A and B are shown apart, each in its own frame.
Chain A
Amino acid sequence: MKIIVSVKQVPARDSSLRAGSDGKRLDETDLTYEMNEPDAYALEEALQLKEKLGGEVVVLSAGPDRVAQTIREALAKGADRAIHVQLNDGTQLDPLAAARLLAKAVEAEKADIVLTGLQSDDLGYGQTGVIMAELLGYAHATIVMEVEPQGDHVRVKRELEDGWFQNVLLPLPVVLTIQSGIKKLRYATLMGIKKAKTKEMKVISSGELQAEFATGLTIERVYVPQRNKQSQIFSGDAKRAAHELAEKLKFEARVI
């Protein structure tokens, strides 16, 4: 079983974010990065499938040089090798352009299962996996909670809305987008970190893949949203803020 896991590097969850000077993109100075959380669960699912069935886990990521750090983390956790599609710093891809690049890289590998997170925590389009499947001609399922291979098929449990679920049988090869939180994430061991240094990391420039790069949308402006609701905000000393809040809850909102 050959499994490819497509992971994205995104700004760390607690980053304080602001628009850059052109007002059209994120100010990336002083940001730290981490593996997109849903992708970390996709990686975990891939590693557990490999432990059960044998085979190979290949980690795939597109981005500038800094992405190598996230790839090494995936290798340290147990992925066998990696493909880094190198982009220039600051390249912004819409989901179609990103999926075109990644699909080209997958095409050359002939995977049985491609896993990725259901969405990214940065841009949040939630589309890359689905578009990859369309471009590759693979079947797909989204918001997947469980993966059960059955010969040349895979049976997956999908999450629907309002606490409903559904099992779906799909033929291989397949793209699955994985829901966050479905398994416990492993940590990289010291041995894993050491071994990762000897694993293959193939770097491909985006140009080599000859994917169509035209962007389907333009971002006109990035900004901090204005608050619509009249909120009363207290800050500063915690005891004082708590006192003011309790007064409001008693005398204004009349809820305590």
Chain B
Amino acid sequence: MSVLVVMEQRDGKLSRMSFEALAAGQQIAGILDVQAQAAVIGYSDNAKIAGVERVFALDDPLLTEYTPDGYTAAIEQLIQAQQPQAVVFPHTYQVRDYAPKLAARLGKVLISDVVAVKAEEASPVFVRQLFQGKLNADVKAASEQQFVSIQAGAFRVSEAPAARAPVERFPVKLDASQIRSKPEAPFREAQRSIDLGAAEVIVSVGRGIKEKDNLPIVEALADVLGAELAASRPICDNGWLPMERQVGSSGQTVSPKVYFAIGISGAIQHLVGMKGSKTVVAINKDENAPIFEAADYGVVGDLFEVVPALVDEIKKVKA
């Protein structure tokens, strides 16, 4: 019996989220009193994995490019051979693409996007967010074998030095006819001309602004602070601000000295892009908005009243 952590690499480098999933997997293994193991498709010797009993390296020419059919078949074979008690993934875009398929093929439900693990009489209880973080749920798997994916930033990666785990090649049997999708090379769209990553102060605006014509309200705050203007995804999707000003998992990652989140509820996709900020100020009318969880200072109130008042106050302070 074991807990199997499926780690993800790109160009031979394991992602940070993979190590966070490993930390979660080690915790789950502790609760179940079994060993943790890791698996990597496309393993490279640069990958240093410690704190597991062994690492399975899965390789096949048909796994060079990611496809949901190829990855599902390969990991299914490893699971059938090892029969782990739990299979743990990082909740990446790639995992979201194939892990539900894999779990369903084995008749199981993936408990996706888990933010914490608790122990209840030697079995793990998983904490998930509902309604974009407004509520939490404690969830238990009904099956013996459990499938879990771990949200970015929810677990701390162990920095303690540890011996590198032995690597074992796991042979997979794949046939080209199993793979239905033909991926082309990944690409990036036009170069970004605005580097929000270098900004010291950012004023970021979300759905709470309601319409494009209201943007001058936050622009005034950005002006008085000498800040860069940024936004959450829906604002850029609507074309109210250019895509290059988007902060979050599909936009830029920022770490300014101060980040003002104005009318942003704080869905995880946004939080991962700005949680490295030194000081976070949130203004939102919903006192239960998850953004307040990330905020050092918060104002619960109507942004259309609070922001202009704040602009006046900052002018006074600066004068």
User: Once the chains bind, are A243 and B313 in contact (CB under 8 Å)?
Assistant: yes
User: Once the chains bind, are B105 and A222 in contact (CB under 8 Å)?
Assistant: no
Interface residues on A, range: 35 or more
Bound: A141/B131 CA distance, A: 24
Which residues of chain A from 90 to 145 have any CB-CB distance to chain B below 8 Å in the complex? 94-96, 99, 121-127, 130-131, 133-135, 139-143
Nearest neighbor of B67 in chain A, beta-carbon distance: A168
User: Once the chains bind, are B305 and A121 in contact (CB under 8 Å)?
Assistant: no
Interface residues on B, range: 35 or more
The answer to whether A256 and B317 touch (CB under 8 A), given A220-B140, A241-B301, is yes
A21 interface residue (CB < 8 Å to B): no
Nearest neighbor of A171 in chain B, beta-carbon distance: B180
A187 interface residue (CB < 8 Å to B): no
A198 interface residue (CB < 8 Å to B): no
Bound: A139/B69 CA distance, A: 8
User: Once the chains bind, are A220 and B138 in contact (CB under 8 Å)?
Assistant: yes
Which residues of chain A from 148 to 178 have any CB-CB distance to chain B below 8 Å in the complex? 159-171
User: Once the chains bind, are B182 and A168 in contact (CB under 8 Å)?
Assistant: yes
User: Once the chains bind, are A219 and B137 in contact (CB under 8 Å)?
Assistant: yes
User: Once the chains bind, are A142 and B96 in contact (CB under 8 Å)?
Assistant: yes
Distance (Å) between the CB of B290 and the closest chain A CB? 8
User: Once the chains bind, are A160 and B101 in contact (CB under 8 Å)?
Assistant: no
Distance (Å) between the CB of B91 and the closest chain A CB? 9
Bound: A243/B305 CA distance, A: 12
Chain A positions within 8 Å of B113 at CB level:
124-126
User: Once the chains bind, are B135 and A26 in contact (CB under 8 Å)?
Assistant: yes
Q: Which of A96, A223, A234, A249 has the most CB of B within 10 A?
A: A249
Choose among A16, A161, A227, A242 the residue that contacts B249 (Cβ–Cβ < 8 A). A161
Stretch at the interface among B34-42, B161-169, B250-258: B250-258
A190 interface residue (CB < 8 Å to B): no
Choose among A214, A216, A222, A232 the residue that contacts B135 (Cβ–Cβ < 8 A). A222
A194 interface residue (CB < 8 Å to B): no
A87 interface residue (CB < 8 Å to B): no
Chain B positions within 8 Å of A19 at CB level:
135
User: Once the chains bind, are A142 and B97 in contact (CB under 8 Å)?
Assistant: yes
A88 interface residue (CB < 8 Å to B): no
Nearest neighbor of A229 in chain B, beta-carbon distance: B293
B9 interface residue (CB < 8 Å to A): no
Chain B positions within 8 Å of A182 at CB level:
237
User: Once the chains bind, are A233 and B299 in contact (CB under 8 Å)?
Assistant: yes
Chain A positions within 8 Å of B292 at CB level:
227, 231, 233
User: Once the chains bind, are A238 and B301 in contact (CB under 8 Å)?
Assistant: yes
Chain B residues within 8 Å of A, Cβ to Cβ: 68-69, 92-94, 96-98, 100-101, 103-105, 108-113, 125, 128-143, 180-189, 192, 201, 225, 233-234, 236-238, 249-253, 257-258, 279, 281, 286-288, 290, 292-302, 305-306, 309-310, 312-314, 316-318
Chain A residues within 8 Å of B, Cβ to Cβ: 11, 14-17, 19, 26, 94-96, 99, 121-127, 130-131, 133-135, 139-143, 159-171, 180-182, 214-225, 227-236, 238-239, 241-243, 245-250, 253, 255-256
4 new A-B contacts, CB < 8 A, other than A19-B135, A134-B105, are A124-B113, A163-B189, A168-B184, A253-B297
